[in-house]
Every structure is written in C-alpha cells, then in structure tokens.
Amino acid sequence: MRRVSTDMMNTDMQYWLRRREDAMAAQESRMNRQERLNGLRDDPLAAARSVRYESVVGRLERYEDNVRYTLDRSRIAEGYMRQAQDIMQRVRELAVTGATGTFTKEDTAAMAVEVDQLLAELVSLANARGPDGDFLFAGDKSHTEPFRALTSFVEGAGGPAVTAVDYLGGLGTPRAEISEASYLPMNLPGDSVFWAERQRIAGGADATGYRVLEASSIFLDGQEIRLRPGDTVQAIIAKINDSGAPVKASLDPSRNALVLEGTNAHRLRVEDGSGARVLADLGILSGSGVPSDYAPTARVSGGSIFDTVIALRDALNKGDHLDVGGRVLASLDAGMGNLGARLAEAGSMMERLEMAGLRLNKEIPDTTALLAAEKDLDFAQAVTDLKMMEYARTASLQMAGRVLPQTLLDFLK
C-alpha cells in the first residue's frame, strides 16, 4: 500500500516533471537529427521499412558508381579501338598499293618501313592504360601488360624488327554489377579485339581407337568439360559442341584427328585438367601443363592482327605482290571485320550502360522518397509539439509553486 504523507505531492510532481523533460529532450534530439525515429519503439514497422529502404538505396548507389566507372572506361577503350581501326585502314591501303605489281622491290621496301611503324603504334594501342593505371585490353589480368613484342633480325628490314606479338593477358574480363544479379563486362579482352581469323587447331594423333581411361576434365576458353572413362573421340566432340564454349569440334576425315576451331575470331585457350592428358594424347597439347602449349605435330592456323601486319611487312620487303594481294589482304580484311564487330559490341555495351544509368537516376530518388516518408521529421509539427511541451512544463512549475506545502525554509524566516 502506498504511504500517504506530506512528501507525496512533491514526489509525484517531480516524477511527472522529469517525464516531461525526457519527452522534450527526445523531441529536441529528433529535431537535431531531423529524423522522427529515436529508436525501434517509436514506430517498429517504420523502423523496419527504413532499414530495408536504406539497404536498397545503398545498393542502387553502388550500382550507379559501377555504371559510371564502367561507362567511362568503355569510352576510353572504344577510342583506342577506333584508332586501331584507322591504323588498319592505312595498312590495308598500303597492302592494296603493294599488291598491284607496278612497284619495284625498293618501292615496296619503303612501304614496309611505314608498315613497321604502324605495327609499333598498333602494339602501343593494344597496351593502352586507363586513367586508373589498369591495362584496358588485358582481360582479367588488368595489371599485366597484355601484349609483348618479340624482336629479331628480319631480312630486308635493315635491322631488328618485331617478328611476333604474344598475348599475356587474361582469358576473361572483370564484370561490374549494374543491377540486382545483373553483370556486364567492364572491357573486352585483347585476344578477341586484336585477333584476325578464327583459330583452328588440328591434332597430330590418330584418334580412331582413343578411349578416356579415367574421369578427367578439359578446359576450352575457361569452360570445363567433364569426361568419363570409356568416352571415345566422338563422345568428346559431342560434349565440346554441347558445352557452350565458343569452340566447334570435329574429326579430320583424312587423318582421323581431333580438330578444334573457334566460332569467332579469338585466341583459343586450351588446357587439360589437373593430372589429365586427354588433349596431349590426342596430339593437341604438348603435355607440359601450360595452357595452349601445342604439340609439335599439331597444325595451328588463324592468327592475330599483329601476325597479319608482320606478314604484310615481310612480303613487301621481299616484293612478293602475289602474297600481298592474296593471303595477306584476305587476312587484313578478316581482322578489320573482327575489329568492326568488336567496336559494335563495345557500342552496344555502352548503350546498355547508359540505359542502366538513366534507370538508376530515377530509381534512386524514388526509393529515397520512400525512405524519407518513413524516417524524416515534419519539422513544423516538431517545433509546434516542442513549444506545447515547454508551455505545459512552465504551467506545471507555476502550479507546483502554488499548490505544494511550505518547506522548512518558510518556518526559519
């Protein structure tokens, strides 16, 4: 039972004044933060929705940053690809001029000098860096210089010249998330942009009686293909063609050898799985374990744009206008066609990025508005409520001064 005493009124008055002061402090905190929720108990449903909306806004802003970065990077890469296309157009003009057969060997050798300089510039463009220092055409090895030029003495060149250009970049490409579970490549790998022809690899071993001895795997352009014991070469061909890798497999009818051919112009990356020797036994790989280290008996055709330009330079140095007008010119046309197709692919990627950016520019404000409706404070109403609390507190203090009984100090007067 509560005890009734002269101190009861004073205690009750202080209790309610403290509660009023706590409410005023909470209201001032809301006004300082401009948020109507101080804690979950203020409005549990609104607090739960606010957490979800904040998470969505954070993800959308990250997607927007990804889109902006990827679009800027793609525009820079497209500029370098267009410069490479201009260089290839000039190389083709020199090839057409040298194929006429009306120039002397000295004249075509002078053309070869220009072709050699254009080749050097082409390699420089292929090794271009973005503003962040990453190589644009290195695939998923953005810190590795993608193309390495090998030089040696070339007959008719008068000194060392580029004889081969190796690709050292990655097979794939980093991807940017531009929406929920939606990804887009951030660039195109150099072994597809600067390739001229569809690569073809014909094995050097008779595969007529071949059987897979144990469960193993092979990898074509990063795509794993699982093989079972007893699989014949026909079963291997069927699994390769059904794998989705950009490679078509067939059997050479004259040599009964396995043939791998790219479905588009790019460098094939071929390797056996760990501990397996399937492609080595079929005469495709040497068995060293290094990807695309072909067997000496394998026949490989289809090279890069650099190989084509090198072939043109060497043919011009020799004055071989028939080779220039035949094989070399056809390879140049194939390389320019592939470069144009890659430019179209890059353009379509940029178009999609721009559309994604427009969508995010609308989606972010809409979601932010939902978050504000749940979380933000009506400042005018908050000021009114605070003033009402202050008036009530002042009135309470005035009433307490009149109602509460006298204290000991009053008796000491």
Largest CA distance in the chain: 131
Same domain, 248 and 309: no
Last residue of a domain, one of 328, 346, 363: 363
d(CA 184, CA 189): 13
Is residue 386 in a domain? no
Partners of 35 in beta bridges: 376
d(CA 14, CA 363): 51
- Does residue 129 contact residue 106 with C-beta atoms inside 8 Å? no
- The pLDDT value given to residue 43: 65
Last residue of a domain, one of 301, 319, 342: 301
d(CA 349, CA 32): 46
More confident residue, 208 or 3: 208
* Interhelix angle 105-126/44-98, nearest 10 degrees: 170
Count of domains forming the chain: 2
Same domain, 184 and 309: yes
Same domain, 153 and 180: yes
- The pLDDT value given to residue 173: 82
pLDDT at 6 over 60: no
- The pLDDT value given to residue 54: 82
Which amino acid, one-letter code, is at 218?
I
Same domain, 286 and 309: no
d(CA 172, CA 100): 41
- The pLDDT value given to residue 365: 87
- Does residue 63 contact residue 179 with C-beta atoms inside 8 Å? yes
d(CA 163, CA 314): 9
Is residue 406 in a domain? no
Numbers of helices and strands, H then E, in the chain: 11, 11
**Among 310, 295, 302, 300, CA closest to 165:** 310
Last residue of a domain, one of 345, 363, 381: 363
Residue that the structure tokens 């531009």 belong to: 178
pLDDT at 269 over 70: yes
d(CA 199, CA 301): 6
Same domain, 308 and 278: no
- The pLDDT value given to residue 159: 72
Lowest mean pLDDT: which of 1-15, 92-106, 246-260, 298-312? Answer: 1-15
- The pLDDT value given to residue 412: 54
Residue 50 parent element (H or E): helix 44-98
Same domain, 64 and 127: yes
Same domain, 84 and 161: yes
d(CA 270, CA 283): 12
Same domain, 273 and 324: no
Which amino acid, one-letter code, is at 87?
I
- Owning domain of residue 288: 200-301
Per residue in 52-80, pLDDT (tens digit) is 888 888 999 999 999 999 999 999 999 99
pLDDT at 226 over 90: yes
Q: How many residues does the chain have?
A: 413
> SS3 of 391, please?
helix
pLDDT at 7 over 70: no
pLDDT at 32 over 80: no
Partners of 407 in beta bridges: none
- The pLDDT value given to residue 76: 93
CATH number at residue 339: 1.20.1330.10
